[in-house]
Structure 1
Amino acid sequence: MQLSLGPLLYYWSREDVFAFYQSMARTAVDIVYLGETVCSRRHELRLKDWLDIGYLLRDKGKEVVFSTQVLLESTAEVGQMHKLVANGEFLVEANDMGAVSALASSQPFVAGPHLNLYNADSLNWMLQLGAFRWVMPLEMPSDELVSMLARVAAPLQTEVFAYGRMPLAHSARCFTARHCNRPKDDCGFACLEHPDGQLLTTRESQHFLVLNGTQTQSARIHNLIAEVPELSTLGIEVLRLSPQSRNMEHVIEAFDIARNDVHASDAASELLATAMHDSACNGYWHARPGMDLQTPTP
Protein backbone atom coordinates (compact mmCIF):
# COMPACT_ATOMS: atom_id res chain seq x y z
CA MET A 1 0.00 0.00 0.00
CA GLN A 2 1.35 3.38 -1.06
CA LEU A 3 0.87 6.81 0.51
CA SER A 4 0.11 9.82 -1.64
CA LEU A 5 0.17 13.50 -0.79
CA GLY A 6 -2.83 15.15 -2.41
CA PRO A 7 -2.68 18.53 -4.17
CA LEU A 8 -2.28 21.60 -1.97
CA LEU A 9 -5.79 22.97 -1.53
CA TYR A 10 -4.84 26.23 0.21
CA TYR A 11 -3.11 29.43 -0.87
CA TRP A 12 0.36 29.81 0.62
CA SER A 13 3.24 32.10 -0.21
CA ARG A 14 5.77 30.92 -2.78
CA GLU A 15 8.42 30.52 -0.08
CA ASP A 16 6.13 28.47 2.13
CA VAL A 17 5.16 26.17 -0.75
CA PHE A 18 8.77 25.47 -1.71
CA ALA A 19 9.74 24.90 1.92
CA PHE A 20 6.78 22.55 2.40
CA TYR A 21 7.66 20.33 -0.55
CA GLN A 22 11.33 20.30 0.35
CA SER A 23 10.31 18.84 3.70
CA MET A 24 7.88 16.42 2.01
CA ALA A 25 10.71 15.10 -0.15
CA ARG A 26 12.25 13.65 3.03
CA THR A 27 9.10 11.82 4.13
CA ALA A 28 7.75 8.34 3.38
CA VAL A 29 5.12 9.43 0.84
CA ASP A 30 5.40 7.55 -2.45
CA ILE A 31 3.25 9.78 -4.69
CA VAL A 32 2.88 13.58 -4.70
CA TYR A 33 0.13 15.47 -6.52
CA LEU A 34 1.03 19.04 -7.53
CA GLY A 35 -0.76 22.05 -9.00
CA GLU A 36 -3.60 24.45 -8.33
CA THR A 37 -6.98 22.74 -8.22
CA VAL A 38 -9.13 25.41 -6.55
CA CYS A 39 -8.70 28.93 -8.01
CA SER A 40 -6.81 30.24 -11.04
CA ARG A 41 -6.29 33.61 -9.31
CA ARG A 42 -3.75 32.03 -7.00
CA HIS A 43 -0.60 33.18 -8.78
CA GLU A 44 2.16 32.72 -6.20
CA LEU A 45 3.44 29.81 -8.30
CA ARG A 46 3.50 29.53 -12.07
CA LEU A 47 3.72 26.33 -14.10
CA LYS A 48 7.53 26.55 -14.18
CA ASP A 49 7.61 26.67 -10.38
CA TRP A 50 5.43 23.58 -10.11
CA LEU A 51 7.67 21.83 -12.62
CA ASP A 52 10.74 22.71 -10.55
CA ILE A 53 9.07 21.23 -7.47
CA GLY A 54 8.22 18.15 -9.53
CA TYR A 55 11.85 17.69 -10.55
CA LEU A 56 12.93 18.00 -6.91
CA LEU A 57 10.47 15.36 -5.78
CA ARG A 58 11.22 13.02 -8.67
CA ASP A 59 14.92 13.19 -7.87
CA LYS A 60 14.02 12.00 -4.36
CA GLY A 61 12.24 8.96 -5.75
CA LYS A 62 8.65 10.20 -5.59
CA GLU A 63 6.07 9.61 -8.29
CA VAL A 64 4.84 13.07 -9.33
CA VAL A 65 1.36 13.73 -10.72
CA PHE A 66 0.00 17.11 -11.82
CA SER A 67 -3.63 17.79 -10.83
CA THR A 68 -5.92 19.89 -13.01
CA GLN A 69 -8.31 22.54 -11.71
CA VAL A 70 -11.72 21.22 -10.69
CA LEU A 71 -13.99 24.00 -11.96
CA LEU A 72 -13.01 25.72 -15.23
CA GLU A 73 -14.83 29.00 -15.92
CA SER A 74 -12.85 30.85 -18.59
CA THR A 75 -10.93 30.35 -21.81
CA ALA A 76 -7.73 31.18 -19.95
CA GLU A 77 -8.37 28.42 -17.42
CA VAL A 78 -9.03 25.91 -20.21
CA GLY A 79 -5.76 26.97 -21.83
CA GLN A 80 -3.91 26.47 -18.56
CA MET A 81 -5.41 23.00 -18.26
CA HIS A 82 -4.13 22.09 -21.73
CA LYS A 83 -0.65 23.36 -20.83
CA LEU A 84 -0.70 21.14 -17.77
CA VAL A 85 -1.85 18.13 -19.78
CA ALA A 86 0.95 18.75 -22.30
CA ASN A 87 3.70 19.25 -19.69
CA GLY A 88 5.66 16.37 -21.21
CA GLU A 89 7.30 15.37 -17.93
CA PHE A 90 4.75 14.11 -15.43
CA LEU A 91 1.52 12.15 -15.17
CA VAL A 92 -1.75 14.08 -14.85
CA GLU A 93 -4.80 13.74 -12.61
CA ALA A 94 -7.97 14.79 -14.44
CA ASN A 95 -10.46 16.59 -12.20
CA ASP A 96 -13.04 17.53 -14.83
CA MET A 97 -14.28 16.02 -18.07
CA GLY A 98 -12.43 18.61 -20.16
CA ALA A 99 -9.15 17.27 -18.83
CA VAL A 100 -10.35 13.70 -19.41
CA SER A 101 -11.10 14.59 -23.03
CA ALA A 102 -7.64 16.14 -23.46
CA LEU A 103 -5.94 13.08 -21.98
CA ALA A 104 -8.12 10.31 -23.46
CA SER A 105 -6.30 7.83 -25.67
CA SER A 106 -3.15 9.97 -25.64
CA GLN A 107 -1.57 9.21 -22.26
CA PRO A 108 -2.39 7.31 -19.07
CA PHE A 109 -3.99 9.43 -16.36
CA VAL A 110 -5.47 9.41 -12.87
CA ALA A 111 -9.24 9.84 -12.68
CA GLY A 112 -9.64 12.37 -9.86
CA PRO A 113 -12.16 12.34 -7.02
CA HIS A 114 -14.35 15.07 -8.58
CA LEU A 115 -15.37 13.12 -11.71
CA ASN A 116 -18.45 11.62 -10.03
CA LEU A 117 -17.57 7.99 -10.70
CA TYR A 118 -20.30 6.27 -8.72
CA ASN A 119 -20.89 3.07 -10.69
CA ALA A 120 -18.91 0.37 -12.45
CA ASP A 121 -20.02 1.45 -15.94
CA SER A 122 -18.54 4.94 -15.55
CA LEU A 123 -15.39 3.48 -14.01
CA ASN A 124 -14.94 1.01 -16.87
CA TRP A 125 -15.42 3.90 -19.30
CA MET A 126 -12.56 5.79 -17.62
CA LEU A 127 -10.48 2.64 -17.88
CA GLN A 128 -11.13 2.46 -21.63
CA LEU A 129 -10.11 6.13 -22.01
CA GLY A 130 -6.75 5.48 -20.41
CA ALA A 131 -7.15 5.79 -16.62
CA PHE A 132 -4.72 3.58 -14.72
CA ARG A 133 -5.77 4.83 -11.28
CA TRP A 134 -8.94 6.39 -9.88
CA VAL A 135 -9.67 8.24 -6.65
CA MET A 136 -12.86 7.12 -4.95
CA PRO A 137 -15.50 9.86 -4.39
CA LEU A 138 -15.19 11.16 -0.85
CA GLU A 139 -18.70 10.26 0.27
CA MET A 140 -18.75 6.70 -1.08
CA PRO A 141 -19.13 4.06 1.66
CA SER A 142 -16.94 1.00 1.76
CA ASP A 143 -19.65 -1.49 0.75
CA GLU A 144 -20.39 0.46 -2.46
CA LEU A 145 -16.68 0.56 -3.26
CA VAL A 146 -16.43 -3.20 -2.89
CA SER A 147 -19.43 -3.66 -5.18
CA MET A 148 -17.92 -1.38 -7.84
CA LEU A 149 -14.49 -2.99 -7.79
CA ALA A 150 -16.05 -6.43 -8.25
CA ARG A 151 -17.34 -5.26 -11.66
CA VAL A 152 -14.23 -3.53 -12.99
CA ALA A 153 -13.26 -5.09 -16.30
CA ALA A 154 -9.46 -4.84 -15.93
CA PRO A 155 -6.83 -4.05 -13.28
CA LEU A 156 -7.19 -0.49 -12.03
CA GLN A 157 -5.44 1.09 -9.05
CA THR A 158 -7.79 2.46 -6.40
CA GLU A 159 -6.87 5.48 -4.28
CA VAL A 160 -8.87 6.44 -1.20
CA PHE A 161 -8.93 9.86 0.48
CA ALA A 162 -7.75 8.83 3.93
CA TYR A 163 -6.86 12.03 5.76
CA GLY A 164 -7.69 15.73 5.65
CA ARG A 165 -10.51 18.21 5.49
CA MET A 166 -12.83 17.02 2.76
CA PRO A 167 -13.41 19.25 -0.28
CA LEU A 168 -17.19 19.09 -0.39
CA ALA A 169 -18.15 21.61 -3.08
CA HIS A 170 -16.77 24.09 -5.61
CA SER A 171 -18.51 27.26 -6.70
CA ALA A 172 -18.17 30.08 -9.21
CA ARG A 173 -18.39 32.43 -6.21
CA CYS A 174 -15.51 33.09 -3.82
CA PHE A 175 -16.83 32.81 -0.29
CA THR A 176 -13.60 34.07 1.28
CA ALA A 177 -13.77 37.27 -0.77
CA ARG A 178 -17.45 37.69 0.05
CA HIS A 179 -16.73 37.35 3.74
CA CYS A 180 -14.28 40.28 3.35
CA ASN A 181 -16.86 42.28 1.35
CA ARG A 182 -14.66 42.16 -1.73
CA PRO A 183 -15.55 41.22 -5.32
CA LYS A 184 -14.12 37.97 -6.59
CA ASP A 185 -11.99 39.70 -9.24
CA ASP A 186 -10.52 42.08 -6.65
CA CYS A 187 -10.27 39.74 -3.70
CA GLY A 188 -6.96 41.01 -2.37
CA PHE A 189 -5.89 37.35 -2.18
CA ALA A 190 -7.57 37.01 1.20
CA CYS A 191 -6.95 33.25 1.14
CA LEU A 192 -3.31 33.93 2.04
CA GLU A 193 -4.51 34.93 5.49
CA HIS A 194 -5.97 31.45 6.12
CA PRO A 195 -3.31 28.74 5.59
CA ASP A 196 -5.78 25.98 6.55
CA GLY A 197 -8.97 27.69 5.39
CA GLN A 198 -11.41 29.90 7.29
CA LEU A 199 -13.41 28.08 9.94
CA LEU A 200 -17.19 28.49 10.19
CA THR A 201 -19.01 27.67 13.41
CA THR A 202 -22.67 27.18 14.23
CA ARG A 203 -24.62 29.31 16.70
CA GLU A 204 -23.80 26.62 19.24
CA SER A 205 -20.07 27.25 18.59
CA GLN A 206 -19.59 23.89 16.88
CA HIS A 207 -17.11 23.67 14.02
CA PHE A 208 -19.13 23.13 10.85
CA LEU A 209 -17.46 24.07 7.55
CA VAL A 210 -14.29 25.71 6.24
CA LEU A 211 -14.23 28.39 3.55
CA ASN A 212 -11.34 28.05 1.12
CA GLY A 213 -11.97 30.56 -1.63
CA THR A 214 -14.32 28.96 -4.16
CA GLN A 215 -14.12 25.66 -2.29
CA THR A 216 -16.12 24.56 0.76
CA GLN A 217 -14.56 21.96 3.03
CA SER A 218 -15.55 19.98 6.07
CA ALA A 219 -14.39 21.44 9.37
CA ARG A 220 -13.72 18.01 10.82
CA ILE A 221 -10.82 16.01 9.49
CA HIS A 222 -11.65 12.85 7.60
CA ASN A 223 -9.42 10.22 9.16
CA LEU A 224 -9.25 6.55 8.15
CA ILE A 225 -6.12 5.54 10.04
CA ALA A 226 -8.09 3.05 12.15
CA GLU A 227 -9.45 1.53 8.93
CA VAL A 228 -6.01 0.90 7.38
CA PRO A 229 -6.16 -2.88 8.08
CA GLU A 230 -9.57 -3.02 6.38
CA LEU A 231 -8.32 -0.95 3.44
CA SER A 232 -5.38 -3.29 3.05
CA THR A 233 -7.67 -6.33 3.09
CA LEU A 234 -9.80 -4.74 0.36
CA GLY A 235 -6.71 -4.37 -1.83
CA ILE A 236 -6.65 -0.56 -1.86
CA GLU A 237 -3.36 0.46 -3.47
CA VAL A 238 -3.05 4.13 -2.43
CA LEU A 239 -4.08 6.20 0.59
CA ARG A 240 -4.34 9.96 -0.04
CA LEU A 241 -3.29 12.41 2.67
CA SER A 242 -4.30 16.04 2.14
CA PRO A 243 -1.70 18.73 3.01
CA GLN A 244 -2.03 20.92 6.09
CA SER A 245 0.19 23.81 7.15
CA ARG A 246 1.55 22.22 10.35
CA ASN A 247 2.70 18.77 11.45
CA MET A 248 2.29 17.13 8.04
CA GLU A 249 5.43 15.08 8.63
CA HIS A 250 3.79 13.54 11.72
CA VAL A 251 0.64 12.74 9.74
CA ILE A 252 2.70 10.88 7.15
CA GLU A 253 4.72 9.10 9.82
CA ALA A 254 1.54 7.88 11.53
CA PHE A 255 0.08 6.43 8.32
CA ASP A 256 3.45 4.92 7.43
CA ILE A 257 3.45 3.09 10.76
CA ALA A 258 -0.14 1.94 10.24
CA ARG A 259 0.45 0.57 6.74
CA ASN A 260 3.60 -1.32 7.74
CA ASP A 261 2.32 -2.90 10.96
CA VAL A 262 -1.37 -3.65 11.48
CA HIS A 263 -0.66 -4.31 15.15
CA ALA A 264 0.66 -0.76 15.66
CA SER A 265 -2.62 0.97 14.80
CA ASP A 266 -3.11 2.30 18.33
CA ALA A 267 0.35 3.87 18.40
CA ALA A 268 -0.20 5.32 14.93
CA SER A 269 -3.55 6.80 15.97
CA GLU A 270 -2.01 8.37 19.08
CA LEU A 271 0.75 9.98 17.01
CA LEU A 272 -1.77 11.26 14.48
CA ALA A 273 -3.94 12.78 17.21
CA THR A 274 -1.06 15.09 18.17
CA ALA A 275 -0.85 16.38 14.60
CA MET A 276 -4.53 17.10 13.96
CA HIS A 277 -5.86 20.66 14.21
CA ASP A 278 -9.53 19.67 14.53
CA SER A 279 -11.65 16.69 15.54
CA ALA A 280 -11.84 13.57 13.41
CA CYS A 281 -14.66 12.05 11.38
CA ASN A 282 -15.09 8.98 9.16
CA GLY A 283 -18.83 8.69 8.71
CA TYR A 284 -18.96 8.45 4.93
CA TRP A 285 -16.78 5.32 4.90
CA HIS A 286 -19.26 3.65 7.27
CA ALA A 287 -22.38 4.78 5.35
CA ARG A 288 -23.23 7.36 7.99
CA PRO A 289 -23.31 11.19 7.98
CA GLY A 290 -19.86 12.39 7.03
CA MET A 291 -19.26 14.31 10.27
CA ASP A 292 -19.80 11.19 12.40
CA LEU A 293 -16.91 9.30 13.96
CA GLN A 294 -17.44 5.56 13.87
CA THR A 295 -15.16 3.22 15.79
CA PRO A 296 -14.26 0.18 13.64
CA THR A 297 -15.55 -3.16 14.89
CA PRO A 298 -12.67 -5.39 16.10
Structure 2
Amino acid sequence: MTNIELALGPVFFNWPNEKLLDFYARIADESDIERVYVGEVVCGKRMPFSDKVYPQIIERLQAAGKTVVVSTLALPVTVRDRKSIDALSDWDGLVEVNDFSGVAARKGQRFVAGPFMNIYNEGAAQTLARMGMEGVCPPVELPLSSVEVIAKALPEIEMELFAFGRLPLAVSARCYHARAHKLHKDNCQFICDQDPDGMDVTTLDDQNFLAVNGIQTLSNTVHATTLTQSEIEKKHIKRLRLSPHSVDMVSVAKTFRALATGRIDSAECEAQLTSLPLPGQLANGYTKGKPGHLWVAD
Protein backbone atom coordinates (compact mmCIF):
# COMPACT_ATOMS: atom_id res chain seq x y z
CA MET A 1 0.00 0.00 0.00
CA THR A 2 1.03 3.66 -0.27
CA ASN A 3 0.18 7.01 1.24
CA ILE A 4 0.14 8.68 -2.18
CA GLU A 5 -3.31 10.15 -2.83
CA LEU A 6 -5.12 11.08 -6.02
CA ALA A 7 -6.79 14.43 -6.60
CA LEU A 8 -9.09 15.60 -9.38
CA GLY A 9 -8.42 19.21 -10.37
CA PRO A 10 -11.13 21.72 -11.29
CA VAL A 11 -12.78 21.48 -14.69
CA PHE A 12 -11.19 24.12 -16.92
CA PHE A 13 -13.68 23.83 -19.77
CA ASN A 14 -17.14 25.21 -20.45
CA TRP A 15 -19.14 22.04 -19.93
CA PRO A 16 -22.96 22.22 -19.72
CA ASN A 17 -24.47 21.67 -16.28
CA GLU A 18 -25.85 18.27 -17.25
CA LYS A 19 -22.38 17.08 -18.18
CA LEU A 20 -20.91 18.44 -14.94
CA LEU A 21 -23.55 16.62 -12.89
CA ASP A 22 -23.01 13.33 -14.72
CA PHE A 23 -19.24 13.67 -14.58
CA TYR A 24 -19.05 14.27 -10.84
CA ALA A 25 -21.66 11.57 -10.15
CA ARG A 26 -19.29 9.03 -11.75
CA ILE A 27 -16.36 10.42 -9.79
CA ALA A 28 -18.38 10.08 -6.58
CA ASP A 29 -19.69 6.59 -7.28
CA GLU A 30 -16.99 4.86 -9.34
CA SER A 31 -13.59 6.34 -8.43
CA ASP A 32 -11.40 6.09 -5.36
CA ILE A 33 -10.03 9.62 -5.79
CA GLU A 34 -9.59 11.13 -2.34
CA ARG A 35 -9.73 14.85 -3.14
CA VAL A 36 -11.83 16.76 -5.69
CA TYR A 37 -11.45 20.43 -6.61
CA VAL A 38 -14.59 22.18 -7.84
CA GLY A 39 -15.42 25.65 -9.10
CA GLU A 40 -14.84 27.94 -12.05
CA VAL A 41 -11.15 28.78 -12.45
CA VAL A 42 -10.90 30.22 -15.97
CA CYS A 43 -13.75 32.61 -16.84
CA GLY A 44 -16.01 34.49 -14.45
CA LYS A 45 -18.66 34.87 -17.16
CA ARG A 46 -19.42 31.15 -16.84
CA MET A 47 -20.02 31.29 -13.08
CA PRO A 48 -23.73 32.30 -13.07
CA PHE A 49 -24.47 29.05 -14.93
CA SER A 50 -22.20 26.48 -13.26
CA ASP A 51 -22.61 27.95 -9.77
CA LYS A 52 -26.20 26.70 -9.83
CA VAL A 53 -25.13 23.05 -9.77
CA TYR A 54 -21.94 23.12 -7.69
CA PRO A 55 -23.77 22.95 -4.31
CA GLN A 56 -25.45 19.72 -5.48
CA ILE A 57 -22.12 18.43 -6.81
CA ILE A 58 -20.33 19.20 -3.54
CA GLU A 59 -23.01 17.44 -1.52
CA ARG A 60 -22.80 14.36 -3.75
CA LEU A 61 -19.01 14.19 -3.50
CA GLN A 62 -18.94 14.69 0.25
CA ALA A 63 -21.58 11.99 0.73
CA ALA A 64 -19.22 9.66 -1.15
CA GLY A 65 -16.42 10.45 1.31
CA LYS A 66 -14.43 12.78 -0.94
CA THR A 67 -12.57 15.80 0.40
CA VAL A 68 -13.96 18.75 -1.57
CA VAL A 69 -11.84 21.85 -2.19
CA VAL A 70 -13.39 24.97 -3.72
CA SER A 71 -11.15 26.65 -6.32
CA THR A 72 -10.98 30.39 -7.02
CA LEU A 73 -10.67 32.18 -10.32
CA ALA A 74 -7.13 32.51 -11.67
CA LEU A 75 -7.70 35.97 -13.18
CA PRO A 76 -10.48 38.03 -11.51
CA VAL A 77 -11.20 41.02 -13.75
CA THR A 78 -14.62 42.31 -12.65
CA VAL A 79 -16.22 43.36 -9.38
CA ARG A 80 -18.33 40.20 -9.52
CA ASP A 81 -15.19 38.09 -9.91
CA ARG A 82 -13.57 39.71 -6.88
CA LYS A 83 -16.74 39.30 -4.82
CA SER A 84 -16.80 35.58 -5.68
CA ILE A 85 -13.32 35.23 -4.18
CA ASP A 86 -14.20 37.31 -1.12
CA ALA A 87 -17.24 35.11 -0.52
CA LEU A 88 -14.96 32.12 0.04
CA SER A 89 -13.77 33.67 3.29
CA ASP A 90 -16.99 32.22 4.74
CA TRP A 91 -16.33 28.69 3.41
CA ASP A 92 -15.55 26.39 6.32
CA GLY A 93 -13.77 23.86 4.12
CA LEU A 94 -10.53 24.05 2.22
CA VAL A 95 -10.06 26.59 -0.58
CA GLU A 96 -7.63 26.45 -3.50
CA VAL A 97 -6.30 29.94 -4.14
CA ASN A 98 -5.34 30.66 -7.76
CA ASP A 99 -4.88 34.43 -7.42
CA PHE A 100 -3.12 36.25 -4.59
CA SER A 101 -6.29 38.17 -3.73
CA GLY A 102 -7.63 34.86 -2.46
CA VAL A 103 -4.94 34.76 0.23
CA ALA A 104 -6.21 38.02 1.70
CA ALA A 105 -9.80 36.82 1.39
CA ARG A 106 -9.02 33.79 3.57
CA LYS A 107 -7.89 36.11 6.40
CA GLY A 108 -5.42 33.65 7.83
CA GLN A 109 -7.58 30.56 7.32
CA ARG A 110 -5.95 27.52 5.76
CA PHE A 111 -5.76 27.25 1.98
CA VAL A 112 -4.07 25.37 -0.85
CA ALA A 113 -2.05 27.23 -3.48
CA GLY A 114 -3.00 26.19 -7.01
CA PRO A 115 -0.69 26.00 -10.05
CA PHE A 116 -1.66 29.52 -11.17
CA MET A 117 -0.01 31.02 -8.06
CA ASN A 118 3.48 30.71 -9.59
CA ILE A 119 5.38 29.42 -6.55
CA TYR A 120 8.79 28.71 -8.05
CA ASN A 121 10.99 28.36 -4.96
CA GLU A 122 11.04 27.50 -1.28
CA GLY A 123 11.20 31.16 -0.22
CA ALA A 124 7.86 31.95 -1.81
CA ALA A 125 6.39 28.75 -0.38
CA GLN A 126 7.62 29.59 3.13
CA THR A 127 6.07 33.07 2.94
CA LEU A 128 2.69 31.65 1.94
CA ALA A 129 2.93 28.92 4.57
CA ARG A 130 3.14 31.64 7.22
CA MET A 131 -0.08 33.07 5.75
CA GLY A 132 -2.02 29.81 6.07
CA MET A 133 -0.98 27.68 3.11
CA GLU A 134 -1.04 23.98 3.97
CA GLY A 135 -0.56 22.53 0.49
CA VAL A 136 0.69 23.52 -2.94
CA CYS A 137 0.39 22.36 -6.54
CA PRO A 138 3.44 23.99 -8.17
CA PRO A 139 3.41 25.63 -11.62
CA VAL A 140 3.31 22.99 -14.32
CA GLU A 141 6.56 24.12 -15.99
CA LEU A 142 8.59 23.54 -12.82
CA PRO A 143 10.99 20.56 -13.18
CA LEU A 144 10.77 17.74 -10.66
CA SER A 145 14.19 18.66 -9.28
CA SER A 146 12.81 22.04 -8.18
CA VAL A 147 9.60 20.49 -6.83
CA GLU A 148 11.73 18.19 -4.68
CA VAL A 149 13.72 21.13 -3.29
CA ILE A 150 10.52 22.90 -2.20
CA ALA A 151 9.08 19.70 -0.72
CA LYS A 152 12.22 19.02 1.32
CA ALA A 153 12.39 22.60 2.58
CA LEU A 154 8.77 22.52 3.79
CA PRO A 155 8.02 18.97 4.97
CA GLU A 156 4.89 20.21 6.75
CA ILE A 157 3.36 21.35 3.43
CA GLU A 158 1.54 18.77 1.30
CA MET A 159 3.08 18.69 -2.17
CA GLU A 160 0.63 17.94 -4.99
CA LEU A 161 1.97 17.30 -8.48
CA PHE A 162 0.07 18.04 -11.68
CA ALA A 163 0.22 14.55 -13.17
CA PHE A 164 -2.30 14.37 -16.04
CA GLY A 165 -3.97 16.64 -18.55
CA ARG A 166 -3.40 19.49 -20.91
CA LEU A 167 -1.11 21.89 -19.09
CA PRO A 168 -2.56 25.25 -17.96
CA LEU A 169 0.08 27.62 -19.31
CA ALA A 170 -1.45 31.11 -19.10
CA VAL A 171 -4.59 33.19 -18.76
CA SER A 172 -5.26 36.52 -20.42
CA ALA A 173 -7.85 39.28 -20.36
CA ARG A 174 -8.34 38.61 -24.08
CA CYS A 175 -10.71 35.80 -25.13
CA TYR A 176 -9.03 33.79 -27.87
CA HIS A 177 -12.10 31.68 -28.48
CA ALA A 178 -14.28 34.70 -29.19
CA ARG A 179 -11.63 36.25 -31.44
CA ALA A 180 -11.25 33.02 -33.44
CA HIS A 181 -15.00 33.09 -34.15
CA LYS A 182 -14.97 36.83 -34.98
CA LEU A 183 -16.83 37.68 -31.78
CA HIS A 184 -16.14 40.25 -29.07
CA LYS A 185 -15.39 39.08 -25.56
CA ASP A 186 -18.43 40.93 -24.19
CA ASN A 187 -20.63 39.11 -26.70
CA CYS A 188 -18.75 35.81 -26.86
CA GLN A 189 -21.96 33.74 -26.95
CA PHE A 190 -20.01 31.28 -24.75
CA ILE A 191 -18.56 29.83 -27.93
CA CYS A 192 -15.95 27.92 -25.91
CA ASP A 193 -18.62 25.30 -25.16
CA GLN A 194 -18.01 23.92 -28.67
CA ASP A 195 -14.60 22.58 -27.59
CA PRO A 196 -15.00 20.42 -24.45
CA ASP A 197 -11.22 19.80 -24.23
CA GLY A 198 -10.05 23.10 -25.67
CA MET A 199 -9.62 24.29 -29.24
CA ASP A 200 -6.51 23.07 -31.05
CA VAL A 201 -4.14 25.73 -32.33
CA THR A 202 -1.80 24.98 -35.24
CA THR A 203 1.06 26.91 -36.80
CA LEU A 204 1.07 28.31 -40.35
CA ASP A 205 2.80 25.06 -41.29
CA ASP A 206 -0.16 23.11 -39.89
CA GLN A 207 1.79 21.74 -36.93
CA ASN A 208 0.12 21.16 -33.56
CA PHE A 209 1.11 24.01 -31.25
CA LEU A 210 -1.19 24.90 -28.33
CA ALA A 211 -4.84 24.74 -27.30
CA VAL A 212 -7.08 27.55 -26.14
CA ASN A 213 -10.02 27.54 -23.78
CA GLY A 214 -11.67 30.94 -23.68
CA ILE A 215 -9.06 33.23 -22.12
CA GLN A 216 -6.80 30.29 -21.22
CA THR A 217 -3.80 28.94 -23.10
CA LEU A 218 -3.16 25.20 -22.70
CA SER A 219 -0.64 22.76 -24.07
CA ASN A 220 -1.72 20.87 -27.15
CA THR A 221 -0.16 17.73 -25.73
CA VAL A 222 -1.49 15.86 -22.70
CA HIS A 223 0.98 15.87 -19.84
CA ALA A 224 1.50 12.63 -17.91
CA THR A 225 3.85 12.10 -14.97
CA THR A 226 4.52 8.36 -14.87
CA LEU A 227 6.94 8.11 -11.97
CA THR A 228 6.90 4.85 -10.05
CA GLN A 229 5.68 4.62 -6.47
CA SER A 230 9.20 4.72 -5.02
CA GLU A 231 10.17 7.70 -7.19
CA ILE A 232 7.08 9.66 -6.15
CA GLU A 233 7.75 8.98 -2.47
CA LYS A 234 11.46 9.81 -2.83
CA LYS A 235 10.52 13.28 -4.10
CA HIS A 236 8.21 13.83 -1.09
CA ILE A 237 5.09 14.14 -3.25
CA LYS A 238 1.90 13.57 -1.28
CA ARG A 239 -0.69 13.68 -4.05
CA LEU A 240 -1.06 13.38 -7.84
CA ARG A 241 -3.48 15.75 -9.57
CA LEU A 242 -5.50 14.62 -12.58
CA SER A 243 -7.03 17.40 -14.68
CA PRO A 244 -10.54 16.62 -16.02
CA HIS A 245 -11.05 15.96 -19.73
CA SER A 246 -13.80 14.32 -21.77
CA VAL A 247 -11.86 11.06 -21.76
CA ASP A 248 -12.99 8.43 -19.21
CA MET A 249 -11.47 9.94 -16.07
CA VAL A 250 -12.46 6.94 -13.96
CA SER A 251 -10.18 4.82 -16.14
CA VAL A 252 -7.43 7.44 -15.90
CA ALA A 253 -7.73 7.41 -12.12
CA LYS A 254 -7.52 3.61 -12.04
CA THR A 255 -4.30 3.75 -14.08
CA PHE A 256 -2.68 6.27 -11.77
CA ARG A 257 -3.87 4.36 -8.69
CA ALA A 258 -2.15 1.27 -10.04
CA LEU A 259 0.99 3.30 -10.70
CA ALA A 260 0.99 4.88 -7.23
CA THR A 261 0.57 1.52 -5.53
CA GLY A 262 3.30 -0.18 -7.56
CA ARG A 263 0.98 -2.56 -9.45
CA ILE A 264 2.13 -1.23 -12.83
CA ASP A 265 5.35 0.42 -13.97
CA SER A 266 5.90 3.61 -15.97
CA ALA A 267 5.81 1.83 -19.33
CA GLU A 268 2.48 0.16 -18.58
CA CYS A 269 1.05 3.45 -17.34
CA GLU A 270 2.08 5.08 -20.62
CA ALA A 271 0.55 2.22 -22.61
CA GLN A 272 -2.77 2.38 -20.75
CA LEU A 273 -3.05 6.16 -21.17
CA THR A 274 -2.12 6.01 -24.85
CA SER A 275 -4.93 3.50 -25.45
CA LEU A 276 -7.48 6.14 -24.42
CA PRO A 277 -8.91 8.74 -26.86
CA LEU A 278 -6.83 11.61 -25.49
CA PRO A 279 -7.15 15.10 -27.02
CA GLY A 280 -3.41 15.16 -27.75
CA GLN A 281 -0.21 13.14 -27.63
CA LEU A 282 1.44 12.38 -24.31
CA ALA A 283 4.26 14.63 -23.08
CA ASN A 284 6.28 15.08 -19.88
CA GLY A 285 9.17 17.31 -20.88
CA TYR A 286 8.74 19.98 -18.20
CA THR A 287 9.17 17.51 -15.36
CA LYS A 288 12.53 16.49 -16.88
CA GLY A 289 13.73 20.05 -17.38
CA LYS A 290 13.10 19.77 -21.13
CA PRO A 291 10.65 21.54 -23.49
CA GLY A 292 7.18 20.69 -22.28
CA HIS A 293 5.87 19.20 -25.53
CA LEU A 294 8.42 16.37 -25.50
CA TRP A 295 8.02 12.82 -24.22
CA VAL A 296 11.06 11.58 -22.29
CA ALA A 297 10.87 7.93 -21.25
CA ASP A 298 11.24 7.27 -17.51
> TM-score interval w.r.t. the shorter chain?
over 0.9
Return the alpha-carbon distance in structure 2 between the equivalents of residues 86 and 194 of structure 1.
34
Displacement of 1:268 in angstroms is 2.9
Give the superposed CA RMSD: 1.6
3-state SS of 1:114 partner: helix
Aligned length: 293
TM-score (ref. length: structure 2): 0.94
- Tell me which residue corresponds to 2:162: 161
CA gap 1:247/1:46 in 2 versus in 1, 3 angstroms: closer
Q: Could you report, residue by residue, the CA deviation over 1:189-212 in whole angstroms, capped at 9, with x for unpaired residues?
A: 101111011001123332110010
Return the alpha-carbon distance in structure 2 between the equivalents of residues 92 and 259 of structure 1.
25
- Tell me which residue corresponds to 2:172: 171
- Tell me which residue corresponds to 1:30: 34
- Tell me which residue corresponds to 1:49: 53
Identity rate, percent: 33
- Tell me which residue corresponds to 2:188: 187
Q: Is the 8 A contact 2:40 2:47 kept in 1?
A: no
Aligned amino acid, residue 143 of structure 2: P
Return the alpha-carbon distance in structure 2 between the equivalents of residues 265 and 97 of structure 1.
36
Displacement of 1:43 in angstroms is 4.1
Q: Is the 8 A contact 1:14 1:44 kept in 2?
A: no
Return the alpha-carbon distance in structure 1 between the equivalents of residues 77 and 214 of structure 2.
15
TM-score (ref. length: structure 1): 0.94
Q: Is the 8 A contact 1:229 1:262 kept in 2?
A: no
Aligned amino acid, residue 50 of structure 1: Y
Q: Is the 8 A contact 1:34 1:67 kept in 2?
A: yes
Work out which of the residue numbers 121, 124, 127 in structure 2 matches 1:125. Answer: 127
Q: Is the 8 A contact 1:117 1:136 kept in 2?
A: yes
Displacement of 1:13 in angstroms is 0.6
Return the alpha-carbon distance in structure 2 between the equivalents of residues 75 and 117 of structure 1.
26
Displacement of 1:44 in angstroms is 6.3
3-state SS of 1:272 partner: helix
Q: Structure 1, unaligned stretches of length 5 or more?
A: none
Displacement of 1:141 in angstroms is 0.8
Return the alpha-carbon distance in structure 2 between the equivalents of residues 277 and 74 of structure 1.
32
Work out which of the residue numbers 75, 86, 92 in structure 1 matches 2:90. Answer: 86
- Tell me which residue corresponds to 1:199: 200
**What pairs with 1:10-29 in structure 2 (closer than 5 Å)?**
10-25=13-28, 26-29=30-33
- Tell me which residue corresponds to 2:113: 111
**What pairs with 1:240-251 in structure 2 (closer than 5 Å)?**
240-251=241-252
- Tell me which residue corresponds to 2:270: 269
